[in-house]
Amino acid sequence: MYDPTVARLTYRALLGRRRALILGALPLLLIVISVAVRGLTGADDQTAADVLGGFALATMVPIIGVIAGTGAIGPEIDDGSVVYLLSKPIKRPAIIFTKLIVAIAVTMVFSAAPTLIAGLILNGNGQQIAVAYTVAALVSSIAYSALFLLLGTVSRHAVVFGLVYALVWEALFGSLVAGARTLSVQQWSLAVAHKVAGGDLVTSDVGLTTATVLLVVVTVLATWYAGQKLRSLTLAGEE
Amino acid sequence: MSTLSIDHVSRWFGNVVAVNDITMTIGPGVTGLLGPNGAGKSTLINIMGGFLAPSTGTVTLDGQPVWRNEEIYRHIGIVPEREAMYDFLTGREFVVANAELHGLGDKAAQRALATVEMEYAQDRKIATYSKGMRQRVKMASALVHDPSLLLLDEPFNGMDPRQRMQLMDLLRKMGDEGRTVLFSSHILEEVEQLARHIEVVVAGRHAASGDFRKIRRLMTDRPHRYLVRSSDDRALAAALIADPSTAGIEVDQAEGALRVQAVDFGRFTALLPKVARDHGIRLLTVSPSDESLESVFSYLVAA
């Protein structure tokens, strides 16, 4: 299923100069905030949980996910260069699967790794908070990548829709409407983080079983559907 | 040796019919797909290449369907019209990647780069390439797996005359080797220079098909209109109308010129200077008034 050539092309496109800068900016901001918070208030578990939950998991991870997920395929479909992948004897779902793996890897590196570092800076992994949020970031990286890769396959405005989902749905509705929280990648990953951390500092509105099932279902469905979309992708000419 | 069969293919986008019930068979050798801009050539080539489903009808390569059949690309090489092609890679990296996607290695890539004579620039980034260089690297990427069918969408667009000659030689060679080569163009002379066989598409319909000489004759045998100014228009008109190659003449008072309709193109062009000389008339202007490609095509459609 995994095609190393497709992966190489995707990595190079994703980590091109401009996109790498955008991908690097938010993690850098997180580290800077963490250093500042630690310097100003000292090590505090509640503060650490607030920063990691409020900024890292609620804002940074989904945005990195949008950039990596949609960027893994959207630009290629937009400018038509995807034709060089499609005109090969490679199953289209294999192309999607490979790009998903790349998007997950990039999202994890640019979101989970800085989350761990920020957590260590904030309170030195007191009460397992750094590890819990890192696990949440890893888990949500997978689901976000699959969702946003699908979005990049079906829409030319994937980045906009992705950001709207990530910021409006996950952040805004999630905090206002209780029902929306059940359908939120962030809450699902928090359920997993809650299991890791144990205490009351990391909480989720969703039970662990429900969260796990939903994470798996969403990832698998989105990937499958993206493969189907790519199979019937038509390349309209410039006419 | 491969044969591409297009069987009663139509394609519409909403209410717009882009391709209208086209049936054609493309065999070995070079075939030109000729038609004015917007005639549906790109749509047709996309359907032939398996990138667009026909609304009705089927496209098969040696009996195998091309739509939703990834395995068919072992036999098809595609040179798209669009420019985008992983500009952040070097030419060599790009062609190697294409070879790898076919399960081939550096050797195949190097051979393809040699075929298009791009070895000298293969280590430069594609972003720095000229249009002609891009076109040749695209060709190399389409040739890595030695396909039996080559589809090229407007390959000569934006190329300078030298690059054009080179690509024509290359395509001619591919055709002589027994490959099935199909290229689209909206320029008659291009097609005429390269293709023995021509398919003409106008407004989504299959307007003509066959040997280029036959189609050229169809195009030259149509009534030609000329605008002629001379030192004595009426004397010239009288002399010309006496010859059967002239179908009609109108004296355009406002323009101060003759509007001549010729039936026999070859004979008329020989006749006009001769008649003028014999009658001591000086020709001041001779200009064809309907040489635009659109009028040529619309004539073909009517025929």
pLDDT, tens digit (0-9, with 9 covering 90-100), for A134-176: 999 999 999 999 999 999 999 888 889 888 887 788 777 766 7
Coil/strand/helix, residue B292: coil
Neighbours of B203 (CB within 10 A): 16
Interface test with B, best of A84, A228, A230, A235 (most B CBs within 10 A): A84
Model confidence, pTM: 0.83
- Backbone φ and ψ for B181, nearest 5 degrees, come out as -115, 125
CB of A12 less than 8 A from some CB of B: yes
DSSP state of B148: S
Whether B303 shows a pLDDT value over 60: the answer reads: no
CB of B43 less than 8 A from some CB of A: yes
Quick one: A40 exposed, middle or buried, by C-beta within 10 A (0-12, 13-18, 19+)? exposed
Looking at chain B, the number of H-run helices and the number of E-run strands are 10, 14
Find tokens 């019209």 and name the residue.
B81
Whether A204 shows a pLDDT value over 50: the answer reads: yes
CB of B29 less than 8 A from some CB of A: no
Q: Mind telling me how many Å the CA of A7 is from chain B's nearest CA? A: 11
Question: CB distance B102–A234 less than 8 Å?
Answer: no
Question: CB distance A234–B153 less than 8 Å?
Answer: no
Chain center to CA of A47 = 23
CB of A46 less than 8 A from some CB of B: no
- Which own/partner pairs from A158-164 qualify as long-range (CB within 8 Å, at least 24 positions apart)? A158/A70, A158/A74, A159/A66, A159/A67, A159/A70, A159/A74, A162/A65, A162/A66, A162/A69, A162/A70, A163/A63, A163/A66
Give chain A positions within 8 Å (CB) of B71: 89
Question: CB distance B82–A90 less than 8 Å?
Answer: no
* Mean pLDDT (whole number) for B60-66: 94
Whether B209 shows a pLDDT value over 60: the answer reads: yes
- A86 vs B51, B85, B103: nearest CB: B51
For residue range A45-86, list pLDDT tens digits in order.
898 999 999 899 989 999 999 999 999 999 899 888 999 999
Whether A41 shows a pLDDT value over 80: the answer reads: yes
Position B265 scores a pLDDT of: 75
Question: CB distance B38–A239 less than 8 Å?
Answer: yes
Question: CB distance B42–A237 less than 8 Å?
Answer: yes
For residue range B224-263, list pLDDT tens digits in order.
788 899 998 889 999 889 888 888 898 888 888 899 888 8
Minimum Cα–Cα distance from A90: chain B residue? B70
Residue A31 to residues A23, A35, A55, A64, Cα–Cα distance (Å)? 14, 6, 11, 15
Quick one: A121 exposed, middle or buried, by C-beta within 10 A (0-12, 13-18, 19+)? buried
Q: Mind telling me how many Å the CA of B88 is from chain A's nearest CA? A: 8
* Mean pLDDT (whole number) for B269-279: 89
Q: Of A113, A111, A128, whose CA–CA distance to A48 is shortest?
A: A128
Arithmetic mean of pLDDT over chain B: 88
Whether A223 shows a pLDDT value over 90: the answer reads: yes
Count, residues in chain A? 239
Residues A94 and B103: their CA atoms lie apart, in Å, by 14
Arithmetic mean of pLDDT over chain A: 89
CB of A80 less than 8 A from some CB of B: yes
Position A150 scores a pLDDT of: 96
Q: Band of the pLDDT at B215, cuts 50, 70, 90?
A: confident
Q: Band of the pLDDT at B208, cuts 50, 70, 90?
A: confident
Position A237 scores a pLDDT of: 46
Q: Residues A29, A83: contact at Cβ < 8 Å?
A: no
Question: CB distance A87–B78 less than 8 Å?
Answer: yes
CA-angle at B252, arms to B246 and B256, nearest 5°: 115
Q: Of B128, B123, B127, B125, whose CA–CA distance to B109 is shortest?
A: B123
Q: Mind telling me how many Å the CA of B226 is from chain A's nearest CA? A: 33
Position B150 scores a pLDDT of: 95
Question: CB distance A235–B85 less than 8 Å?
Answer: no
Question: CB distance B76–A87 less than 8 Å?
Answer: yes
Position A16 scores a pLDDT of: 84
Coil/strand/helix, residue B59: strand
Q: Mind telling me how many Å the CA of B112 is from chain A's nearest CA? A: 16
CB of B54 less than 8 A from some CB of A: no
Q: Of A56, A96, A122, A54, whose CA–CA distance to A229 is shortest?
A: A96
Reported ipTM? 0.89
For residue range A78-130, list pLDDT tens digits in order.
888 999 999 999 999 999 999 999 999 999 999 999 999 999 999 888 888 99
Residues B263 and B224: their CA atoms lie apart, in Å, by 7
C-alpha torsion angle, residues A195, A200, A205, A207 (rounded to 10):
30
Interface of B with A in 68-97 (CB under 8 A): 68, 70-74, 76, 78, 80-82, 84-86, 88-89, 97
Residues A186 and A205: their CA atoms lie apart, in Å, by 10
Residues A205 and B50: their CA atoms lie apart, in Å, by 47
